[in-house]
Amino acid sequence: MYQTVKGTYDLLEKDMARFNMLEDLFRHFLSLYGYAEIKTPVFEYTGVFQKENDTSDMVTKEMYTFSPNGKDSLTLRPEGTAGVIRSFVENKMYARPELPVKLGYIEEMFRHERPQKGRQRQFTQMGIECLGEKDPLIDAEVIALGYTYIRTLGLESVKVLINSLGDAESRLRYRERLTEYFAPHKEELCIDCQNRLEKNPLRILDCKIDRGSELVANAPKMELTEGSQKYFDDVKHYLDLLGIPYEIDDRLVRGLDYYTDTVFEVVSTNEASGSQATIFGGGRYDDLVKEMGGPQMSGIGFAIGVERLMILAEAEGIFEEYAPELDCYVINLNPEPDYAFAIAEELRNNSFTTEMDYYGRSLKAQFRSSERKNTRFVLIIGEDEVREDTVTIKDTLTKAQETLKKEELVERLDQLLEDYYE
Ligand SMILES: [Zn+2]
């Protein structure tokens, strides 16, 4: 007997339908905001994901890296941005006459971390990347897309947290000040942060272990250069203009090392999700395109973890109205299935979702099946119906029953649906 590998899971029917619902609405939002969907390979050369001096847990501890021929180092995609940018550069999208290039994805990701609720080793992310232009309008639009998507799904208790990590100069200055501040207290930091102190002290600010400490709470704040401050003020202005509620969180640095200027998270304040769970996050990156071999071009994006979104959506009860429904169930009471079987196929060819009995069960058993499947119209095919070339329809909502010629069936069902929804 085999079982799923730790950190992976089967997506069974009901959850699959819910997954699809989340994804379908996301695809709708992609098109509303002018994004085209792309799919990148599940594995890439390790260098696509692993940058020099990257201190993030994802890169240092969690990647599935393998070498099938003992020569190339390959890695299963742990996040979406790097592959999209690799594709942007490889396909020379940066040279297009129309910039920015707006790309969206819905893809499986792989990270070897300790599985917990809403966090699997194989998981799905829906994300966007807007590449090739840097403008506060774009930052605000990207946040608006994500926020409005979450609100349209029906999640109520959400808010946007934003921060600016500044431009290269702001960050360089800030790094120096943080290093100066933390260095005398190195021993008080966790092992990871002692390492981060050398490579990227900003990451200490959102360390899961040290985050709550007095030392981190009293750390100096970022001072933005004039240009970065103006940029951040403009982003906030456009968010105000769109009526998107946000809070500034100056400890928000995000888990990855490559962010510059705007970073943001949309968090749930629903109690079921813990005190304040991140629904999704993202930010701007000035140097990723260049690091991947392209020109110096900025980009911005975010990614939503679908597994976590499922839990939140369930907690807020937004799935109730999505119970699957069957249009028609064909009950056959004849020894031969031919007549009923042909009708079922005709209904499907006319866009009615349809099921039928395969086993010649009793009338009662077939009715029970139709109820379990939440059927709108039950079609009864008895001896009389076959002899007279008719069908008996039972409308399970109005309880009305009628017998009519087989060739009138499709038109009649259309009419019943239309009358009902008027
Ligand atoms: Zn730490």
pLDDT per residue over 329-353, tens digit each?
999 999 999 999 999 999 999 999 9
- Within 13 Å, how many C-alpha atoms sit on residue 82's CB side? 23
Question: Residue 110 in contact with residue 62, Cβ under 8 Å?
Answer: no
Q: Cβ contacts of residue 315 below 8 Å, gap of 6+? A: 270, 272, 273
Looking at residue 316, what is its pLDDT?
86
Neighbouring-strand partners of residue 106: 126
Mean pLDDT, residues 400-412: 96
| Residue 187 CA, ligand 1 centroid: distance in Å | 11
Residue that wins the pLDDT comparison between 207 and 152: 152
| Residue 104 CA, ligand 1 centroid: distance in Å | 33
Percent share of the chain, pLDDT over 90: 72
Mean pLDDT, residues 356-367: 94
The answer, yes or no, to whether residue 255 has pLDDT greater than 80, is no
What span, in angstroms and rounded, lies between the C-alpha atoms of 368 and 359? 14
Lowest mean pLDDT, pick from 178-187, 199-208, 361-370, 379-388 = 199-208
| Residue 249 CA, ligand 1 centroid: distance in Å | 19
| Residue 167 CA, ligand 1 centroid: distance in Å | 24
| Residue 281 CA, ligand 1 centroid: distance in Å | 21
Number of DSSP helices (H) and strands (E) in the chain, helices first: 15, 16
| Residue 208 CA, ligand 1 centroid: distance in Å | 6
The answer, yes or no, to whether residue 78 has pLDDT greater than 60, is yes
**Cα 339 to chain center, whole Å?**
45
The answer, yes or no, to whether residue 401 has pLDDT greater than 60, is yes
| Residue 118 CA, ligand 1 centroid: distance in Å | 23
Residue that wins the pLDDT comparison between 255 and 74: 74
Question: Residue 297 in contact with residue 131, Cβ under 8 Å?
Answer: yes
**Cα 336 to chain center, whole Å?**
48
Q: Cβ contacts of residue 40 below 8 Å, gap of 6+? A: 77, 80, 83, 84, 86, 87, 105, 107
Average pLDDT, the chain: 92
The confidence band for 77, taking pLDDT boundaries of 50, 70 and 90, is very high
| Residue 78 CA, ligand 1 centroid: distance in Å | 22
- The pTM of the full predicted model, rounded to 2 decimals, is 0.86
**Helix H or strand E encompassing 86:** helix 81-90
Mean pLDDT, residues 180-189: 92
| Residue 172 CA, ligand 1 centroid: distance in Å | 21
The confidence band for 257, taking pLDDT boundaries of 50, 70 and 90, is low
| Residue 218 CA, ligand 1 centroid: distance in Å | 15
The confidence band for 53, taking pLDDT boundaries of 50, 70 and 90, is low
Looking at residue 195, what is its pLDDT?
86
Looking at residue 58, what is its pLDDT?
78
List CB-based neighbours of ion ligand 1 within 5 Å. Answer: 190, 193, 207, 209-210
Q: Cβ contacts of residue 244 below 8 Å, gap of 6+? A: 140, 143, 144, 147, 160
The confidence band for 59, taking pLDDT boundaries of 50, 70 and 90, is confident
Question: Residue 107 in contact with residue 37, Cβ under 8 Å?
Answer: no
| Residue 207 CA, ligand 1 centroid: distance in Å | 5
Mean pLDDT, residues 321-328: 76
Lowest mean pLDDT, pick from 24-28, 368-372, 414-418 = 414-418
Closest CA to 284 of 103, 86, 136: 136
The answer, yes or no, to whether residue 43 has pLDDT greater than 80, is yes
The answer, yes or no, to whether residue 317 has pLDDT greater than 90, is no
The answer, yes or no, to whether residue 273 has pLDDT greater than 60, is no
